[in-house]
Amino acid sequence: MSLEKVLFGFFIVLAATLNFGFFLGAIDRPELHHVYELAAALVVSVIATVLKFGDRTQIGAIHLSTSLVADLHLIAAAITWAFAIHVTGEGMTPSVTSSVVSLSGGALFANVVSVIILIIETVMLRR
């Protein structure tokens, strides 16, 4: 068993599950979507992206692409949240919360694609 592959799979699945945990709940209720959960999803997603840089295969390129998409969505969600709290001062209104959760939903979809690719890649491995 390769420690590198274990860590790679671990961070891909962890990024997806953290993002799912943040995404789950009524889209317009800020009390159901915690800022630290979004931050954890973003940090783990960036770690997963860094781990994908070493792979030079076509599947590796697709892994990297999905991870970059997830990162961009989560960064946009974090910026939206921070802007609403610290710049405009309006706070987490239902409209802002909906935007943040929708952006994390895009990241979740990219994470799911990445997990599916990981499963396909694993099934295709020959011993």
Q: What is the pTM of this model?
A: 0.91
The answer to whether 36 touches 51, Cβ cutoff 8 Å, is: no
The answer to whether 67 touches 109, Cβ cutoff 8 Å, is: no
Amino acid present at 52: K
Residues 83-95 pLDDT 10s? 999 999 888 999 9
29: Cβ–Cβ under 8 A, 6 or more apart, which residues? 94, 97
List per-residue pLDDT tens for the chain, 127 residues long. Answer: 788 889 989 999 999 999 999 999 999 898 999 999 999 999 999 999 998 887 788 888 899 999 999 999 999 999 999 999 999 988 899 999 999 999 999 999 999 999 999 899 888 877 6
Query: What phi and psi values does residue 10 have, to the nearest 5 degrees?
Result: -60, -50
Domain boundaries, the chain: 3-124
Closest CA to 38 of 103, 119, 92: 103
